[in-house]
């Protein structure tokens, strides 16, 4: 771990086997490689498991109300454009309760980076249906399985003529670092979706341990270097502008 | 400088700029929109936001980033801002929120004035917190108390409200705002990008969440309440017009107090300007009077609080929102 993580706050509150710890460590490495530190960067999170991300970073950070990380970040960036402002939050926070802000801050092309850790449900509250849940997902609030398509994050993130969208997983560390690094360096609004699963709540027979989960992600997702619409199981970077 | 014809909303714009406003975010709403329009031309950092939830969140972020920040709205938007108001109290962020009230509930009568958001201004957000609110009654006071709202926000490190209404916001008066001299409170909160502080809506101690510590919560709440109350003590603004021929004190505030002024021959008059926290001075002054009347453009919201505060029965004259005729006031006050 580098000194951009608050060592005194470890261990984090996250469950054993949850990939959030890997993402936190690699995020800190990316910031260090880009020369970002407490003198020039601010981390903003919303509410949820990923919402605790900001509090572990050794720099000024803001832990907002549920869904409001993006507008708080936009206020910070507009008030002081010299700061590098990075939002790290969950799928329910950014695309459920905070979906409207995602639409409009991206449209205004505010120069912030949003890193969305998508575990396809509301984990901290026990595992309820989220806008990102797959068809058939059995959760505490969809006991018969979800009947509707998940929200199209790629589509939403590439709506505007100028856009930056990346999809990756914590099982592909070099690719994940590349996505975060390019997004933070991008001038304008950039969005990184990190696909994962909730180790505790997703009740999948496919992964009982963190190791199982990483292996599953590794075989499920394939990297493409092409700048085009990604298929369901593809990872890559789509940018325009 | 010569006098100019200015309305309440323009005076709020001028007051905010005089106070050092550096950031504004807002969403259009009658009767507050002219504040946003005026500030869009001022050259300060400005966002035409997607809604009032975003507006209040942006002003919180901008304030943390080092700029004096404000948003303005009316009742429906003020309701949406309540979650952000709680966050700013928990994180201790200075922001100014203007609420130009109109008739509700819901969309109600949007172009007509009311004072229906008094209890929402007192305790609209969830959980316990201390409200600080000013309610001017003239265009010059809109200017003056906008500046004082910024001063109080910086001193108390929390959201401070400036309440107005559809009538005061659009009331034109001839004023020389440059002649109003108020010293400015400077900021002592270091802007973001200068440390490893963690600002959170969770109960926390030096940035570390304390979400299971009830004893600490009680300590925290006491010191929070003391700090805000002590800061508010420096802003005890009110107007009291004695009347030795009357045993009745009429309490009114904001735009309605201008009409109630017509009855100064019949009654003693008291007008709180810092409407929250409730002024201790009302306790002392009210003791001299046999009867207390509270007249307001709502269904007795302030009277409800004052009855508990003064521990005595109050005669209520709830004239409600909308256009108020002087005869309606006369009937309510004089039982004619």
Between A54, A58, A60, which is nearest B193 by CB?
A: A60
Statement: residue B257 has pLDDT above 60? yes
Q: Where are the domains of chain A?
A: 7-240
pLDDT tens for residues B7-53? 999 999 999 999 999 999 999 999 999 999 999 999 999 999 999 99
The dihedral formed by the CA atoms of B137, B143, B145 and B147, expressed in degrees to the nearest 10: 170
Query: Tokens standing for B100?
Result: 């130009």
Summarize the confidence of residues B282-299 as an average pLDDT. 98
Between B49, B69, B83, which is nearest A65 by CB?
A: B83
pLDDT at residue A205, as a whole number: 87
Summarize the confidence of residues A185-202 as an average pLDDT. 97
Q: Are residues B78 and B165 in the same domain?
A: yes
pLDDT at residue B1, as a whole number: 74
- The distance of Cα B180 from the centroid of its chain, to the nearest Å, equals 20
Asked if B58's CB is within 8 angstroms of A80's CB, the reply is: no
The dihedral formed by the CA atoms of A180, A184, A190 and A194, expressed in degrees to the nearest 10: 20
pLDDT at residue B90, as a whole number: 98
Residue B230 is assigned to a structural domain of this protein: no
Among residues B91, B67, B89, the alpha carbon closest in space to that of B17 is found at: B67
Q: Are residues B55 and B154 in the same domain?
A: yes
B251 Cβ partners below 8 Å, 6+ apart? Answer: B269, B270, B271, B272, B282, B292, B293, B294, B295, B302, B306
Supply the ipTM of this predicted assembly.
Answer: 0.97
Statement: residue B336 has pLDDT above 80? no
Between B50, B54, B198, which is nearest A54 by CB?
A: B198
CA distance B134 to chain A (A): 25
CB-count exposure of residue B84 (10 Å: 0-12, 13-18, 19+): buried
Q: Are residues B34 and B171 in the same domain?
A: yes
CA distance B22 to B20: 6
Q: Are residues B152 and B51 in the same domain?
A: yes
Which residues of B have a CB under 8 Å from any CB of A?
22-23, 25, 45, 47, 49-51, 53-55, 57-67, 69, 83-84, 86-87, 91, 191-202, 207-209
Task: Describe the strand order of the beta sheet including A61-63 as a list of residue ranges.
Answer: A222-223, A234-240, A163-168, A190-195, A113-118, A84-90, A41-45, A61-63, B198-200
Q: Which of B55, B62, B126, B198 to mutate: most A Cβ within 10 Å?
A: B198
Average pLDDT of every residue of chain A: 97
pLDDT tens for residues B92-106? 999 999 999 999 999
CA distance A197 to A204: 9
Summarize the confidence of residues B267-273 as an average pLDDT. 98
The domain boundary, picked from B135, B163, B179, lies at B179
CA distance B97 to B72: 6
CA distance A137 to chain B (A): 31
- The distance of Cα B22 from the centroid of its chain, to the nearest Å, equals 20
Closest chain B CA to residue A48: B202
CATH code of the domain containing B270: 3.40.50.920
Question: pLDDT above 70 covers what percent of chain B?
Answer: 100
Count CB-CB contacts under 10 A for residue B330: 15
Q: Are residues B166 and B25 in the same domain?
A: yes
Statement: residue B226 has pLDDT above 90? yes
Q: Beta A113-118 vs A84-90: how paired, if at all?
A: parallel
CA distance A51 to A63: 7
Number of domains in chain B: 2
Closest chain A CA to residue B207: A55
CA distance B44 to B27: 16
Average pLDDT of every residue of chain B: 97
Q: Beta A84-90 vs A61-63: how paired, if at all?
A: unpaired
Task: List the CATH code of the domain at A7-240.
Answer: 3.40.50.970
Asked if A78's CB is within 8 angstroms of B58's CB, the reply is: yes
**Which stretches within A20-132 are classed as H helix?**
20-33, 69-79, 91, 99-107
Q: Is the CB of residue B314 less than 8 Å from the CB of residue B306?
A: yes
| Out of A63-72, A200-209, B256-265, least confident range | A200-209
Phi, psi of B72 (to 5 degrees): -135, 145
Between B59, B192, B207, which is nearest A42 by CB?
A: B192
CA distance A160 to chain B (A): 16
Statement: residue B141 has pLDDT above 60? yes
Residue B129 is assigned to a structural domain of this protein: yes
Asked if A80's CB is within 8 angstroms of B192's CB, the reply is: yes
Give the helix/strand (H/E) hosting B187.
none
CATH code of the domain containing B91: 3.40.50.970
Give A65's contacts in chain B (Cβ within 8 Å).
57, 83-84, 86-87, 201
Q: Is the CB of residue B123 less than 8 Å from the CB of residue B188?
A: no
Residue B261 is assigned to a structural domain of this protein: yes
**pLDDT tier at A1, thresholds 50, 70, 90:** low
Residue B164 is assigned to a structural domain of this protein: yes
Beta bridge partners of B174: B5
Domain that holds residue B61: 4-179
Residue B211 is assigned to a structural domain of this protein: no
């Amino acid at each position: 771990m580098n000194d951009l993580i608050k060592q005194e706050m470890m261990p984090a509150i996250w469950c054993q086997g949850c990939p959030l710890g890997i993402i936190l460590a690699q995020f800190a490495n990316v910031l260090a490689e880009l020369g970002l530190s407490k003198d020039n960067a601010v981390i903003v999170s919303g509410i949820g498991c990923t919402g605790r991300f900001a509090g572990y970073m050794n720099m000024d950070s803001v832990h907002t109300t549920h869904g409001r990380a993006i507008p708080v970040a936009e206020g910070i960036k507009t008030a002081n454009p010299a700061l590098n402002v990075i939002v790290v939050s969950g799928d329910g926070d950014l695309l459920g309760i905070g979906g409207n802000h995602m639409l409009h801050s991206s449209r205004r092309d505010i120069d912030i980076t949003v890193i969305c850790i998508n575990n396809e449900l509301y984990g901290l509250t026990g595992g309820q249906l989220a806008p990102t849940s797959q068809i058939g997902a059995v959760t505490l609030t969809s006991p018969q399985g979800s009947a509707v398509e998940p929200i199209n994050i790629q589509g939403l993130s590439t709506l505007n003529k100028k856009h930056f969208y990346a999809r990756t997983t914590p099982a592909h560390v070099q690719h994940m670092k590349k996505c975060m690094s390019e997004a933070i360096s991008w001038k304008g609004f950039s969005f990184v979706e990190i696909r994962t699963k909730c180790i505790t709540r997703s009740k999948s027979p496919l992964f009982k341990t963190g190791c199982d989960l990483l292996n599953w992600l590794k075989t499920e997702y394939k990297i493409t270097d092409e700048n085009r619409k990604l298929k369901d199981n593809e990872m890559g970077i789509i940018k325009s502008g | 400088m010569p006098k100019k014809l200015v309305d309440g909303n323009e005076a709020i714009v001028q007051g905010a700029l005089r106070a050092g406003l550096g950031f504004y975010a807002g969403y259009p709403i009658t009767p507050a929109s002219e504040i946003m329009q005026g500030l869009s031309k001022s050259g300060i950092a400005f966002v035409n936001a997607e809604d009032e939830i975003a507006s209040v969140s942006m002003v919180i972020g901008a304030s943390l980033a080092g700029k004096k920040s404000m948003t303005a709205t009316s009742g429906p938007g003020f309701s949406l801002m309540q979650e952000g108001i709680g966050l700013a109290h928990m994180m201790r962020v200075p922001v100014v929120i203007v609420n130009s009230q109109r008739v509700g509930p819901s969309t109600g009568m949007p172009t007509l004035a009311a004072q229906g958001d008094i209890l929402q201004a007192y305790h609209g957000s969830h959980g316990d917190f201390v409200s600080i609110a000013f309610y001017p009654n003239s265009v010059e006071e809109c200017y003056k108390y906008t500046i004082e709202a910024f001063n109080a926000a910086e001193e108390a490190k929390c959201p401070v409200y400036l309440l107005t209404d559809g009538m005061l916001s659009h009331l034109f008066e001839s004023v020389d705002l440059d002649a109003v001299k108020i010293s400015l409170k400077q900021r002592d909160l270091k802007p973001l990008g200068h440390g490893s502080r963690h600002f959170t809506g969770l109960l926390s101690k030096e940035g570390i969440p304390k979400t299971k510590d009830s004893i600490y919560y009680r300590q925290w709440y006491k010191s929070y309440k003391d700090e805000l109350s002590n800061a508010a003590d420096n802003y005890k603004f009110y107007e009291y017009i004695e009347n030795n021929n009357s045993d009745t004190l009429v309490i009114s505030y904001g735009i309605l107090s201008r009409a109630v002024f017509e009855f100064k021959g019949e009654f003693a008059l008291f007008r709180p300007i810092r409407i929250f926290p409730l002024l201790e001075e009302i306790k002392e002054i009210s003791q001299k009077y046999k009867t207390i009347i509270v007249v307001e453009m709502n269904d007795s919201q302030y009277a409800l609080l004052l009855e508990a505060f003064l521990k005595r029965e109050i005669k209520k004259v709830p004239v409600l929102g909308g256009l108020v005729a002087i005869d309606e006031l006369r009937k309510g006050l004089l039982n004619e």
